Amino acid sequence: MNSNPILRILNLIFVVLLFFILQKFGITVFLHRQKAYINVDNEEYQVVPYKSIPLKNILAQNNIVLNKDDIVSCDVEMPIKPLAKIKIVRVTKEQKQITKKVPFRVTWKRQYNSNLRNVELQKGVQKDIKRTIDQVFYDGIFHNEEVVDDKILSKEYYQVVLFSSANVVEKIYDLSKAKRIEVIATAYYPGDPLAWGDGTVTVLGQKMQRGIVAVDPKVIPLKTRLFISGYGYGYAGDTGNLIKGKRIDLGVNNEKEEKAWMFRKTTVYILEESATY
């Protein structure tokens, strides 16, 4: 029996070291077998966690590429633990634009009641709100919407409102979209000695009255609704031997009005062709 105390101490140290080495090796083997799990794109990846290797490196080793908006359930800069379950949510966005029209807001108006029918000239502001929205999807399933940008576009313009005989709004014309013609205007009235015949019946067989406008059909078709600056609503219902080119002859009530319109420059807005005024 060996009784050397030094040798016994050395043997004891050897046994202790061997125990720690085996223990360390066993833990390493155990941990090596304890894998972690990564769920992404409807697949599950089994990976081996290491204390010194961050998650982003493990993702790269498995060819898993992260997009900038993707959501990861843990910090990619940190190592992962054994048996950890990491979830990666793919986030995609689809952009769309929505236009919301704010009702026309009247800032000024004037009524014309003496030309064939009641109309109202209105000045106002139309606003359009153009909103850019990102629709957000988590793994292809709609999640929410995010407003990216709001733009308000304002447009100021005039419009003509036609009223029915019951004083109900019948139609609205946007003058900013109407064809406009710069013309020279004259005027005539029922019984005007300068008008053809007795000046009481138009070429369409209508009664001559204020609001009936004589035109050159090559420029302004007969049976066309008009709006004339300074005059109001009109209807192209007559012609005249001297009304050629950009000339119009306005139906008025009397000689005084006729003189007021003698060779005046004005603007005609073409509203629409209509069988009736």
Confidence class of residue 192 from pLDDT cuts 50, 70 and 90?
Answer: confident
pLDDT reading at 180 higher than 80? yes
Q: The tokens of 158 are what?
A: 């005039």
For residue range 220-264, what is the model confidence (pLDDT) as tens digits? 999 999 999 999 999 999 998 899 999 999 999 999 999 999 999
pLDDT reading at 65 higher than 60? yes
CA-only gyration radius of the chain, Å:
44
**Stretch(es) of the chain classified as CATH 2.40.40.10:** 178-273
**pLDDT (average), residues 1-30:** 63
CB-CB contact of 166 with 175 (8 Å) = no
Q: Give the model's pLDDT for residue 16.
A: 65
Where is pLDDT greater, at 27 or 204? 204
pLDDT reading at 1 higher than 50? no
Q: Which CATH architecture has domain 178-273?
A: Beta Barrel (2.40)
CB-CB contact of 228 with 266 (8 Å) = yes
For the domain made up of 5-91, give the CATH fold.
Ubiquitin-like (UB roll) (3.10.20)
Phi, psi of 182 (to 5 degrees): -85, 125
pLDDT reading at 2 higher than 80? no
CB-CB contact of 227 with 175 (8 Å) = yes
Residue with tokens 């982003």: 56
Q: Give the model's pLDDT for residue 54.
A: 95
SS3 122: strand
CA 232 to chain centre: 35
Q: Give the model's pLDDT for residue 236.
A: 98
For residue range 118-152, what is the model confidence (pLDDT) as tens digits? 999 999 999 999 999 999 999 999 999 999 999 99
Residue with tokens 């447009």: 155
For residue range 17-34, what is the model confidence (pLDDT) as tens digits? 766 675 665 555 554 558
SS3 227: strand
**Stretch(es) of the chain classified as CATH 3.10.20.30:** 5-91
For residue range 72-121, what is the model confidence (pLDDT) as tens digits? 999 999 999 999 999 999 999 999 999 999 999 999 999 999 999 999 99
pLDDT reading at 46 higher than 60? yes
